[in-house]
Chains A and B, each alone.
Chain A
Amino acid sequence: MNDAATTPILEVRHLVKHFDRPRGLFRRVAPPLRAVDDVSFDIKAGEALGLVGESGCGKSTTGRAILRLIEPTSGEIRFQGEDVTGLDAAALRRLRRDMQIVFQDPYGSLDPKMTVRRLIAEPLRIHRIGSAAERRRRVSELLDLVGLTEEHGDRHPHEFSGGQRQRVGIARALALEPKLLVLDEPVSALDISIQAQILNLLIDLRDRLGIAFLFISHDLAVVRYVCERVVVMYLGVIVEIGDRAAIFDRPAHPYTQALLSSVPNPDPASRGQSRRIVLEGDQPSAANPPSGCRFRTRCWKATSRCSEETPPLRRLADGHLAACHYAEV
């Protein structure tokens, strides 16, 4: 590993995002929704980091706050050493050349009136990169890179299938040669046979271009396939961080264990052989999270200590951290 691979390209420190909620009917002040509550992690250059958790855990909010598509309430986000939380509009535009996002829904993020060629060229035009001829060449390159043909370039997004539209979304995000790509559930809306195409494309692109990924997903099998390191979130906080093997083979936090055991096993031959942890109850509200450990209301290991003391993210092994009083490896 060279130096670049060990220096973080992105450092997130104590990121907090609270959403104010409308007042209640009788002017009670509703407590803010603590969507992301003190989250810290790094992404190394060229690394694929997975951010997993269930709906409402704060994973998408974290991704958007990093790009400043929403303003963080507090905390620090350093991209290549520079704090981006205080940047003005012009500086932010420069930053977005290096940090791009791909959304789940390729339909919603593409202007239906534009041809695919124009859609892909748009970021280049906005950032005034290259002459018209150079931009045309670059668009052709990008089409080829994501597995589309020149002929595809002259069509409109509505003529495309979901998988092809996601390819257009990816080509657009890559137009400015970003160093970090935030992928927010990039394959969740696609048919299974198409998911595999897009996943392989993403893996190839990362190998060829050396881009870092923040890969946000609720699909653990997909995260295992794409990411070498994983952050697990629950109700606005990180409960576990580790490399692929640590998280999937030696999960230490009870929530990670339950999450993994909940995934249906696609091999009927081994049906009933592994013990499934079925969690009790629902995720509590992020407006009024449980005291101490936020997972304790659904945890089979919880003791009185868990309601009194918030467990810190504790190092269990090299690069493997979990926020549980009783986690061990």
Chain B
Amino acid sequence: MTTPAPLLSVRDLTVEFRRDRSWLRALHGVSFDVFEGETVGVVGESGSGKSVTVQSLMGLLPARSSRLAAGSAVFAGRDILRLPRRELRRIRGKDIAMVFQDPMSSLNPVFTVGYQIAEAIREHNPGLSRETLRERTLAVLSRVELPHPAQAFSTFPFQFSGGMRQRAMIAMAIANAPRLLIADEPTTALDVTIQAQVMQVLQQARGTGSAMLLITHDMGLVAEATDRVIVMYAGRVIETGTTAEVFAAPRHPYTRGLLASRPKLAAAGGRLTPIPGSPPNIASLPGGCAFHPRCALHERHRDPICVDTVPALLPREGAGLVACHLTHLLGSAQREMETT
């Protein structure tokens, strides 16, 4: 069996931000692939670099205060990190589209929803007649299950509720049938019953043809909606794998800690095991493995390699990768923890 070429291939993505007179590194060589039609989750806490990753892919980093120190992101054969603005615009909104946490960041408050979606379609399909544009827009509006598409067409974004606005933004994102949809915390600001509606719409409306990169801090959402998952910590990818494998048998102590930190709704399980300390500040990252000061495994084994050497991302059992010097000790440590 030959592996198909990835739709998006990010390699060694390294991004820095200016603070005072120096450059702080926010991403340290991030690499991952997204294949045609799959949903990939990117999870991490504040400072993990998940949002910076997305912003660099979309060319949304502030030009003056940030810089691309290294890396490439090849989408359909072209490095989108180095495209001229005009060409990037041609891809953005057509082949790659985005859904944000705050719909007002991509909807213009002074134009009707219908006008904005029609414009998004027209920009990439010049020469469509007014009637065809209107028809296509109405079709997109009904695909995101806005109750009265014709009415929604001539509604201003502020007249919608949060959930409806999120649907309008999804409509705009899928209007040109993108091959890759990047969703950055798309339901974080929404109530849980509305979140369920919006996720359902997002999954159904994009259809089977397009891939999705779902950035979230919600492990439940990842478990439910993704095929593969990328776990980030302090600007690095620390574990990847199929969602089923990573959740069933996390091989990085941080991933394991994250999963043990969330109370379960389904069962009144035992006491939570928090990860001690807090995510590090990118201005003062710990040496070696950035997670070592919070790591239970390091605490137990005190191996100097964790303090001295950044662990490489190496194949883990199953289909993924893990960046931990002591991952081979993880299974036994867990059993020890359970027996004590």
Contact residues of A with B, CB < 8 Å?
Answer: 54-55, 161-164, 191-197, 199-200, 203, 218, 220-222, 224-225, 244, 248, 258-269, 271, 276, 278-279, 281-283
Contacts and interface: CB of A to CB of B under 8 A. Distances in A.
A191 B224 contact: no
A197 B200 contact: no
Contacts of B268: 224-225, 244, 248
Given A163-B278, A262-B193, A282-B194, A196 B261 contact: yes
Contacts of A225: 263, 268, 272
Contacts of A269: 244, 247-248
Contacts, number: 132
B263 A221 contact: yes
Given A161-B278, A220-B265, 14 more contacts: A191-B279, A193-B274, A196-B260, A221-B262, A224-B263, A225-B268, A259-B192, A263-B220, A264-B195, A264-B223, A265-B223, A265-B224, A267-B223, A269-B248
A248 B265 contact: yes
16 contacts: A54-B191, A55-B191, A163-B278, A191-B46, A192-B45, A192-B261, A193-B45, A194-B278, A262-B193, A262-B195, A263-B265, A264-B225, A265-B266, A266-B247, A268-B244, A268-B247
A185 to B, nearest CB: 13
Contacts of A192: 45, 217, 219, 258, 261-262
B192 A263 contact: yes
B196 A266 contact: no
B69 to A, nearest CB: 26
Interface of B: 45-46, 147, 161, 163-164, 191-197, 199-200, 217-221, 223-225, 243-244, 247-248, 257-266, 268, 271-276, 278-279, 294
B163 A193 contact: no
B196 A262 contact: yes
Contacts of A193: 45, 257-258, 261, 274-275, 278-279, 294
Contacts of A281: 147
A264 B193 contact: no
Contacts of B163: 282
A200 B274 contact: yes
Given A191-B279, A282-B164, A260 B265 contact: yes
Contact of B218 (A55, A259, A264): A264
A244 B268 CA distance: 9
B105 to A, nearest CB: 20
Given A191-B45, A269-B248, A200 B197 contact: no
A25 to B, nearest CB: 16
Nearest to A222: B263
Contacts of A191: 45-46, 217, 278-279
Contacts of A244: 268
B45 A258 contact: no
